[in-house]
Amino acid sequence: MIKLNIDGIDVEVEEGTTILEAARKVNINIPTLCFLKEINEVGDCRMCVVEVEGRRGFATSCIQKAEDGMVVKTNTEKVNSARRMVLDLILSNHDRKCLTCVRNGNCELQKLAEEFGMTDIRYDGEKGGHEIDDKSPSLVRDFNKCVLCRRCVATCKNVQGIGAIESTERGFKSCISTAENRSLNDVNCTFCGQCIENCPVGALKEKDNTNEVWEKLKDKDAFVVVQTAPAVRVGIGEEFGMPIGTTVTRKNGYSIKKTWI
């Protein structure tokens, strides 16, 4: 075990613990954006910077290991102004259409902007101008909202074992792309949606066909057939009061077969 002091509070943690985890242990909140525990620990965004006594510059708390005797400050003027700068730069090249964004009210970037009391955007720079990729039947990618955290890349490669997406280019041109910049529809993407689950913003979203379904339901001449996705075959049984875990499968298009598992 090692002992350190964070914002005046003594903390004891196992060797190998990051400053971020040590701070969380004593309920000190350090903002993060690219960090995703055990999936994406790359120290890319620099939202989580802190000051360490006796050291020049900032420490990136999500990857920097805590050391015995360390004295850490997480909430100084310098630290907050560095984090604010990170947000300013991200927002300078961000498509800020929050009201019509699927993640409005549930967006990590929006929450950070609110926490930092951002009422203006200090730098209004050139925008990426990326084309929206909505060719796949399930996913929409809008990289005009991407914060380049790479959480989707790590999820696709390390959790799903697919590797359909990767970071490409450098500097202002940096983006998350596929082989030869093809649509997700034309590469080895399985449309599992796990990258959407871990994206902190609205750069990735599910394709929503709700309105089309409503239109068809209103059409008296249309015979509407509904098919659930495999995972829903269990969930839907619960919705109709069946015991948890009941697999409900359509058979011959008319009857329901119940299988107990």
**Among positions 23, 70, 156, 248, the unique one binding ligand SF4 when judged by CB under 6 A:** 156
Name the minimum Å distance from CB 234 to ligand FES. 35
Name the minimum Å distance from CB 43 to ligand FES. 4
Pick the closer one to ligand FES by CB: 108 or 142: 108
Pick the closer one to ligand FES by CB: 63 or 162: 63
- What DSSP state is assigned to residue 190? -
Residue partners of 7: CB distance under 8 A and separation at least 6: 23, 28, 72, 73, 74, 75
- What DSSP state is assigned to residue 244? T
Name the minimum Å distance from CB 31 to ligand FES. 8
The single-letter code of the amino acid at 219 is: D
Q: What 3-state DSSP class applies to 35?
A: coil
Q: What 3-state DSSP class applies to 121?
A: coil
Cβ atoms of 82 and 49 closer than 8 Å: yes
Name the minimum Å distance from CB 17 to ligand FES. 15
Residue 62 interacts with ligand SF4 (CB under 6 A)?
no
Helix axes 77-92, 108-115, angle to 10 degrees: 140
Total number of residues that touch ligand SF4 (CB under 6 A): 28
Which range, of 22-30, 87-95, 188-196, 208-216, touches ligand SF4 by CB under 6 A?
Answer: 188-196
Residue 96 interacts with ligand FES (CB under 6 A)?
no
List the structure tokens of 179.
Answer: 């082989």
List the structure tokens of 100.
Answer: 């019509």
Name the minimum Å distance from CB 241 to ligand SF4. 32
Residue 109 interacts with ligand FES (CB under 6 A)?
no
**Window 185-214: residues binding ligand FES (CB under 6 A):** none
Cα 103 from chain centroid (whole Å): 11
Cite the beta strand spans of 7-161 per DSSP E: 9-13, 49-52, 59-60, 71-73, 139-141
Residue 148 interacts with ligand SF4 (CB under 6 A)?
yes
Which range, of 30-38, 110-118, 120-128, 215-223, touches ligand FES by CB under 6 A?
Answer: 30-38
